[in-house]
Amino acid sequence: MSNGIRVAIMGATGAVGQEFLNLLEERNFAMSELRLLASARSAGKTMRFKGQDIPVQELTHNSFEGLDLVLASAGGKISRDFAPSAVKAGAVVVDNTSHFRMTEGVPLVIPEINPEDIFKHKGIIANPNCSTIIMCLPLWPLHKRYKVKRVVAATYQAASGAGAVAMKELEDETLARLEHREYKNTVIPHPYAFNLFPHNSPMTENGYCEEEIKMVKETKKIFHDEAIRLTATCVRVPVLRAHSEALNIEFENEPDIAEAYDILSKTPGVQVMEDRANNRWPMPLDASGKDPVLVGRLRKDLSQPKTLDLWVVGDQIRKGAALNAVQISELLFPR
């Protein structure tokens, strides 16, 4: 490997871990060493990177010696237990789990929005929730121009949010239903093929699930604005990859549709995609495997003033997870 920093992927065999590998290769991230860390049952497997087979090592508290950067996506409990060991060994952890996001003193970063927060870290930088990233990326430039007062979000979330096993389960269950066979879900808690259901993250006392609460709290932290009011309804839909969101956004200042389109078309990481004549708007298949968050169907809310509706679609594994973490790392360790 070329001269550069020493990197580990914690949770290398998962869907996001595999995407970390793809992105580090695609973006030619400058590394002198790459360690792939996973559970004992994955140790000894190999993963392909730049034409080489790299062995997966068992994750232990001694896995981090000599490292500069750890990209973590192995689950919140694993990050809670192992991230401090990585920091103690001298590495910076960019953590894709929810464990540290709302911790005081841990930056929560979307590089296109609050890159300056990266450099306030004390060893750990948190990657926001996928639905939060996909919503905030187009929301931020509109907030800077018109000031957001309130957002009502409805999400349509793909199986990828529950990992590679959930994606495989959706494929298997769909085939079983088409062949009129019985199928027992083990990852997703409800019948999933040809069905949808409110998000299956744990329910809180106020009637919101954790996924919805994450969107509310994380947006305020990223925007450094506690005054923004948000509410969300998160729904799991039988789509393999890429989340969709319908956003209803109330502003303090009167928005102009043409200007808002112009702002979004110039926003890094955002792509306007629509064909009004043919009633064609961004779809999960358009965003799957792609970096930009796709937007369209921008229109004035007929029911109240200073309010726009916006349709947003983004790849949950890329910008919603791995790409955001790699972009943070590129700013942290510039060439």
Same domain, residue pair 190 and 83? no
**Domain containing 111 — which CATH number?**
3.40.50.720
Closest to 161 in 3D by CA, of 191, 132, 181, 183: 132
Domain of 111 in residue numbering reads as 5-127+321-332
Say if residue 2's pLDDT is above 90: no
Mean pLDDT of the chain: 96
- What average pLDDT does the segment 90-105 reach? 97
- Strands 52-58 and 31-38 come out as parallel
What confidence score (pLDDT) does residue 195 get? 97
Residue 241 DSSP label: S
Same domain, residue pair 77 and 225? no
Chain segment 197-220, per-residue pLDDT in tens: 999 889 999 999 999 999 999 999
Count: domains in the chain = 2
Contact 37, 59 (CB under 8 A): yes
Strand blocks (E) in 39-141: 46-49, 52-58, 69-72, 92-95, 124-126
Strand blocks (E) in the chain: 5-10, 31-38, 46-49, 52-58, 69-72, 92-95, 124-126, 148-157, 197-198, 229-236, 243-251, 270-272, 293-300, 307-314
Same domain, residue pair 117 and 10? yes
Contact 116, 85 (CB under 8 A): no
**Domain containing 141 — which CATH number?**
3.30.360.10
Say if residue 224's pLDDT is above 80: yes
Same domain, residue pair 121 and 145? no
Same domain, residue pair 153 and 275? yes
Same domain, residue pair 51 and 158? no
- What average pLDDT does the segment 156-178 reach? 95
Same domain, residue pair 278 and 152? yes
Chain segment 14-73, per-residue pLDDT in tens: 999 999 999 999 999 999 999 999 999 999 999 999 999 999 999 999 999 999 999 999
Say if residue 248's pLDDT is above 60: yes
Same domain, residue pair 144 and 122? no
Task: State the catalytic residues.
Answer: 130, 243
Same domain, residue pair 144 and 278? yes
Same domain, residue pair 67 and 83? yes
Same domain, residue pair 255 and 280? yes
| Per-residue confidence band for 104, with pLDDT thresholds at 50, 70 and 90 | very high
| Ramachandran bin of 271, using left for φ above 0, alpha for ψ from -120 to 50, beta for the remaining angles | beta
Rounded to whole angstroms, the Cα distance separating 60 from 64 reads 8
Contact 248, 152 (CB under 8 A): yes
Start-to-end C-alpha separation, the chain: 15
Contact 111, 118 (CB under 8 A): yes
Closest to 23 in 3D by CA, of 127, 120, 106, 122: 127
Amino acid identity of residue 56, one-letter, is V
- What average pLDDT does the segment 192-197 reach? 97
Rounded to whole angstroms, the Cα distance separating 329 from 95 reads 11
Chain segment 266-284, per-residue pLDDT in tens: 999 999 999 999 999 999 9
**Whole-number Cα distances in Å, 183 to 165, 166, 189, 201, 236:** 15, 14, 12, 22, 19
What confidence score (pLDDT) does residue 4 get? 85
What confidence score (pLDDT) does residue 53 get? 96
Same domain, residue pair 100 and 118? yes
Say if residue 148's pLDDT is above 70: yes
- pTM to 2 decimal places: 0.96
